[in-house]
Amino acid sequence: MRARATLQARRPWFIAGALVLLVAAIYFGGHQLTRPQFIDTSIPPDSLSPGGFGDTTDFRVFFTWTEDGYCVGQFHVKATETATQVRVGPVISRRYLYGGICAGVGTVENVASVELKLASALGKREVVRESDGAPLPVFVYRTSLGCNDAIASKADPPADLPVVLNQVALPTVSALPANRSGEPDPNARLFAKQGLFVASGASFALLVPAEWVGRLTIGWGRPALRTTHLLVSGCKATGSQERWLVFAGGFWVGEPACVPLLVKSAGQEQTVLIGVGAACPGQAAPPPGN
């Protein structure tokens, strides 16, 4: 009886304590819900790259990202489409504030990308940045040279194509004429045709320096896809082919310019200057283009 009386005497305290805990849970839970759950940051897009597999509506939007990495699904982007134009909005970086654990993805050369699915094929439509109307270049960000795409072979490169890092011969002696390319991208309005001479078995990369991305693209092969990173890996002469393999392609620019090109191979790198429609220091003026 005494124990039952004691329990009954304590019951109001249990009830009061439970009510306090319930009110606290409701208050703090509601307060938590009213706090921001994520932070969105807008990032301007820099360029578009076809997604591959022949899908003309599948693209990737590239943008500057200087942090060490990012989370899968962290970025989103939308575009507004008309019959003549594609306006690409800002890339949205969304960071969740609570309980966010993700598998980090590393960045390369301070660049990241996010998928963009268009409603219809890009075709000849103009691509611009929504925020300021600036044209956005459209090119394959990184690609590999098809070794079977060689159109010829030679025992040695021509005398006016010096060999760089014992791997590739590039037109650094004479400026190249630049003609209208027919590309809808204003950043690729002019094209300078120049065969690429590759030593048998060579492995190297040709890269457009970061400060020229958007103003210069390169490409060789069949077809010669416009890119800023061309990888060449072990293309070897076979059968009757001579030591130096030749690939069709060249350089695209918006305006005549002396452009830099970075060559990397086996831990070595060298930047060369190439005149595209305009002479570099020490070069003669190129023949007039069309």
Question: Per residue in 248-283, pLDDT tens?
Answer: 999 999 999 999 999 999 999 999 999 999 999 999
Q: Tokens standing for 158?
A: 């021509």
Higher pLDDT, 34 or 111: 111
Higher pLDDT, 68 or 168: 168
Q: Tokens standing for 169?
A: 């011969």
Averaged pLDDT, 236-245? 93
User: How sure is the predictor about 69, in pLDDT bands with cuts at 50, 70 and 90?
Assistant: confident
User: How sure is the predictor about 42, in pLDDT bands with cuts at 50, 70 and 90?
Assistant: very high
Percent of residues, the chain, with pLDDT higher than 70:
82
pLDDT of 190 reads: 96
Q: State which H helix or E strand residue 116 sits in.
A: strand 111-117
Residue 75: is its pLDDT beyond 50?
Answer: yes
- C-alpha 289/C-alpha 277 separation (Å) is 7
Question: What mean pLDDT is reported for the chain?
Answer: 86
Which amino acid is located at 74 in the chain?
Q
User: How sure is the predictor about 186, in pLDDT bands with cuts at 50, 70 and 90?
Assistant: confident
Provide the pairing of β-strand 196-199 with 168-169: antiparallel
pLDDT of 123 reads: 85
Question: Per residue in 126-176, pLDDT tens?
Answer: 899 999 999 898 888 889 999 999 999 999 999 999 999 999 999 999 999
Q: Residue 223, preceding bond cis, omega within 30 degrees?
A: yes
Which amino acid is located at 3 in the chain?
A
Averaged pLDDT, 217-230? 94
For residues 65-83, b (16+ Cβ closer than 10 Å) or e, as one string? Answer: beeeebbeebbbbebeeee
User: How sure is the predictor about 96, in pLDDT bands with cuts at 50, 70 and 90?
Assistant: confident
**Maximum CA extent, the chain:** 113
pLDDT of 257 reads: 96
Residues 6+ apart with CB under 8 A from 269: 262, 263
Using CA atoms, how far residue 67 sits from 71, 106, 107, 164, 189, in Å, is: 11, 9, 8, 33, 33
User: How sure is the predictor about 98, in pLDDT bands with cuts at 50, 70 and 90?
Assistant: low
pLDDT of 214 reads: 86
Q: Tokens standing for 176?
A: 């190249």
Averaged pLDDT, 40-58? 83
Beta sheet of 163-164, edge-to-edge order = 152-154, 244-247, 196-199, 168-169, 163-164
Chain centroid to CA 128: how far?
Answer: 16
Beta sheet of 79-81, edge-to-edge order = 79-81, 85-88, 126-129
Averaged pLDDT, 21-33? 48
pTM reported for the whole predicted model: 0.73
Smallest CA-to-CA distance from 197 within 189, 188, 206 is with 206
pLDDT of 102 reads: 64
Residue 20: is its pLDDT beyond 50?
Answer: no
Chain centroid to CA 131: how far?
Answer: 19
Q: Tokens standing for 171?
A: 């037109």
Residue 289: is its pLDDT beyond 70?
Answer: no
Averaged pLDDT, 95-102? 67
